[in-house]
Structure 1
Amino acid sequence: MKEFGKLIEVDDATRKFWAIFQPGYPERMVEVAEKKRRFAYYTNADTALKVISNKELWFRNATVMNDFSEISYGIDLIHKVFSGEAGERFREAVEDIFEGTISLVDKRLQGWMHDWELETYIACISEHSEDEDKSGRLSMWRAYGDTALVVNNAPMMAFTDKLAVYSAPVMYLSEDGYKARLDQITDAILINRKYLQSLGQDTLVTYIHHMLFHTAIVTKHPGFSEEREWRLFYRPNEEHSAAMERRVEVLGGVIQIVYVLPLKHDPKVGLFGADVPSLLDRVIIGPTE
Structure 2
Amino acid sequence: MKVDRCALSEAMREASEKDYLRQQREVQERIGRVFMPGLMRGLDDLFKPSNQFKLVHYTSADVAELIMKNREIWLRSTQYVNDTSEIHHGFALIERLFGLNGKAEQGGSRLLRALDQIHKGVGEAVVPYFRARYDDILNNTFISCVSKHALHEREHGRLSMWRAYGRKSGVALVLNPEPFRSTSDVLKAYSAPVLYGGWDEFIRDMSEVTDKIEASAEKLRFIPAHDLIKIVHMMLLLTVTCIKHPSFVEEQEWRVIYTPTEFHSSVIKPANITIGGISQTINKLSLKDYPRQGLSGIEIPQLIDNVIVGPLGDPVHTRERMIAALIEAGVSDAENKVTLSNIPLRIDGY
Please tell me whether residue 277 in structure 1 is matched to residue 301 in structure 2.
Answer: yes
1:57 to 69, 73, 82: 73
Segments of 5+ residues of structure 1 without an aligned counterpart are 1-6
AA matched with 1:22:
M
CA distance in 1, matches of 2:193, 2:75: 17
1:40 corresponds to:
56
1:288 to 281, 305, 312: 312
AA matched with 1:91:
L
CA distance in 2, matches of 1:30, 1:87: 27
1:68 corresponds to:
84
1:222 to 246, 253, 275: 246
AA matched with 1:38:
K
* Higher deviation after alignment, 97-106 or 163-172: 97-106
Deviation at 1:256, TM superposition (A): 0.6
* Higher deviation after alignment, 279-288 or 111-120: 279-288
Q: CA distance change for structure 1 residues 269 and 59 in 2, over 3 Å: closer, same or farther? A: farther
CA distance in 1, matches of 2:126, 2:295: 33
* 8 Å contact kept, 1:172–1:219: yes
AA matched with 2:152:
D
After the TM superposition, which parts of structure 1 deviate over 6 Å for at least 4 consecutive aligned residues? Answer: none
Deviation at 1:193, TM superposition (A): 3.2
Please tell me whether residue 18 in structure 1 is matched to residue 18 in structure 2.
Answer: no
Deviation at 1:12, TM superposition (A): 4.3
Deviation at 1:228, TM superposition (A): 0.8
2:291 corresponds to:
267
* Higher deviation after alignment, 151-160 or 218-227: 151-160
2:189 corresponds to:
165
1:142 corresponds to:
163
Please tell me whether residue 191 in structure 1 is matched to residue 215 in structure 2.
Answer: yes
* Higher deviation after alignment, 182-191 or 58-67: 182-191
Over the residues paired in the alignment, what is the CA RMSD in angstroms?
A: 2.5
Deviation at 1:124, TM superposition (A): 0.4
1:195-248 CA deviation, whole Å, 9 max, x = no partner? 345656444433322221221222222221111111112222123323222211
TM-score with structure 2 setting the length: 0.73
Secondary structure in 1 matching 2:69:
helix
Segments of 5+ residues of structure 2 without an aligned counterpart are 1-20, 99-103, 314-350
* 8 Å contact kept, 1:170–1:228: yes
Deviation at 1:163, TM superposition (A): 2.1
1:65-118 CA deviation, whole Å, 9 max, x = no partner? 212134222121111233323223323434455554332112322321221121
* 8 Å contact kept, 1:243–1:269: no
2:142 corresponds to:
121
1:4 corresponds to:
none
Q: CA distance change for structure 1 residues 154 and 9 in 2, over 3 Å: closer, same or farther? A: farther
1:110 corresponds to:
131
Between 1 and 2, higher relative CO (CA 8 Å, sep ≥ 6) is seen in 1
Q: CA distance change for structure 1 residues 95 and 234 in 2, over 3 Å: closer, same or farther? A: closer
1:3 corresponds to:
none
* Higher deviation after alignment, 247-256 or 210-219: 210-219
User: How many residues get paired?
Assistant: 283
* Higher deviation after alignment, 114-123 or 201-210: 201-210
Pick the structure with greater CA Rg.
2
Q: How does 1:90-105 map to 2 (within 5 A)?
A: 90-95=111-116, 99-105=120-126
1:206 to 209, 218, 230: 230
1:258 corresponds to:
282
Secondary structure in 1 matching 2:47:
helix
1:81 corresponds to:
97
AA matched with 1:48:
A
Q: CA distance change for structure 1 residues 265 and 85 in 2, over 3 Å: closer, same or farther? A: closer
